[in-house]
Amino acid sequence: MNNMIGHFISGQHITQTQNSGPVFNPSTGEEIARCAYADVAVVDQAVQAATSTNAKKWAKASHATRLQVLFKLRELMIAKTDELAEIIGREHGKTIADAKGEIGRAIEGIEFACNAPQVTKGEYARNVAGDIDVFSVRVPVGVVGCITPFNFPIMIPAVMMAMAVSVGNSIVWKPSEKVPSAALFFADLWKEAGLPDDVFNIVQGDKVAVDAILEHPDIAAVSFVGSTHIGEYVYQKGTSHNKRVASFTGGKNHMVVMPDADLEAAANAFVSAGFGSASQRCMAVSLLVPVGEETANQLRTLIIEKTKALKIGAYNDPTADFGAVISAQSQQSVLKAIDQCVADGAELLLDGRAYEHPQYKNGYYIGPTLFDYISTDMDFYKQEVFGPARGILRVNTLDEAILVTNSHEFGNGSVIFTRDGKTAHRFFMEIESGMIGVNVPVPLPVSYFNFGGLRRSKFGESHLYGPDAARFYTKLKTVSQKWPEPEESDQAISLAFKIT
């Protein structure tokens, strides 16, 4: 194994590094490559490229010129879906079907970025005073630093960077060192689509690269997706260096089920939304919150049966429902959370700790695990468990369900299943979450709506995609303009603060 995965700067693949780390295939536990880790000098090299004359020409390019590249990128993503899905699956562990679904959402984000001219239009007012016209324009912020997580190697980068590039910025991107290959594949697609060299740059690495991005004076804005404690660090450090920062972090998403709901549909939704991608999604349903004992007991029976039927397998097993978790460290973290939940007194309905793949015994697998009688004082309730371990938290009333949901520090997504419109209306008006589902298990909005949580699920006042993302990647200039008649002057001295 001599494969070194490097950086992408000024349109070229480079592998210069003093440090590197292993890249694994989670399905087998095999080390498949090394990833170069950027130092401060490499990050500076990438920023120099992103601030070059070539990159500045992109900022001045017409909307038509930029959109031609976006349209071509979309075509290439569609044509290369199978190849890209294989790369994602091999390094992440998610199934090929799941990877293709992710790519589909990435393409949707690129499509919305083609609306950049529409969502960045300014305002105009004629003759506000003394024949003066006032108008506003949005211009690129400059260099955007992007820091992305392992769980969506292409969707999050695509929706984040397509808009940033579409409105004229250049990019310095640090992907997760656990899934570095999809990033380089994406860079090659941008280049093939006609994006000028220097506009799109990648630095692989760890905290050294992150800090270099957060501290670099020529990076104007930083967009981050990842865990809450790192996201808060990124927000605080980035803003302390006078950067615009949008940081999207963790979730503990509650799914409330009312007695009048279609319980069969609710059970299917919980299992699908709870265990997909080995539960490594910030929008995954973490806790089932049935209202009333009868509702809870019926759902429990249905969910146990459906969860038992799930098949775990390698990323390229077409019969697998979900695959391995990302790393041995992640596997141990989830197992520890399960052990602690057992010690805290929850009832263990399904135990996936002993699961071992019959062919890949070193893979990072955990079987689907389900608890009942979770309570709000348990660590399992308080913490985001990024693996296939889900729980049932019983309540007696809708009031209690709303209180429990709003009491959690995270406010990423919340869901209710009910047939009653008034109940649904009250839920989405009172719940303090950024994304809410009504009979929809994963309330992940389409790309032309804003994505972002509340409370400690988001730091900063922007959104990952949607119209608000275009505003984040641009700065506003307001111009007051007057054109006198030729050879006419009315600029007499006046010290009054005039408004007419």
Q: Which residues contact 434 (CB under 8 A, 6 or more apart)?
A: 411, 412, 413, 451, 452, 453, 454, 457, 458
Separation CA 484–CA 490 (nearest Å): 8
Q: Which is nearest to 433 in space by CA: 265, 256, 296, 263? A: 256
Separation CA 144–CA 171 (nearest Å): 5
The values of phi and psi at residue 400, to 5°, are -65, -40
Task: Give alpha helix (H) positions in 134-262.
Answer: 155-166, 181-193, 207-215, 228-240
The answer to whether 328 touches 294, Cβ cutoff 8 Å, is no
Task: Give alpha helix (H) positions in 93-140.
Answer: 96-113, 116-119
Q: Which is nearest to 180 in space by CA: 50, 8, 301? A: 8
Q: Which is nearest to 95 in space by CA: 280, 333, 249, 251? A: 280
Separation CA 255–CA 386 (nearest Å): 17
Separation CA 495–CA 232 (nearest Å): 48
* Residue 341 annotated in active site: no
Q: Which residues contact 127 (CB under 8 A, 6 or more apart)?
A: 133
| SS3 state at 43 | helix
In the numeric block, which tokens belong to residue 363? 């893979």
Task: Pick left, alpha or beta for residue 170 (phi over 0 → left; psi -120 to 50 → alpha; otherwise beta).
Answer: beta
Distance (Å) of CA 330 to CA 150, 337, 364, 489: 12, 11, 8, 72
State the Cα angle at 209 between 203 and 210, rounded to 5°. Answer: 115
Q: Out of 35, 146, 282, 341, which one is annotated catalytic?
A: 282
Residue whose tokens read 């950027």: 38
- 27: exposed, middle or buried (Cβ count in 10 Å: 0-12, 13-18, 19+): buried
State the Cα angle at 175 between 118 and 280, rounded to 5°. Answer: 90
Separation CA 37–CA 20 (nearest Å): 5
**Which residues participate in catalysis according to the annotation?**
282
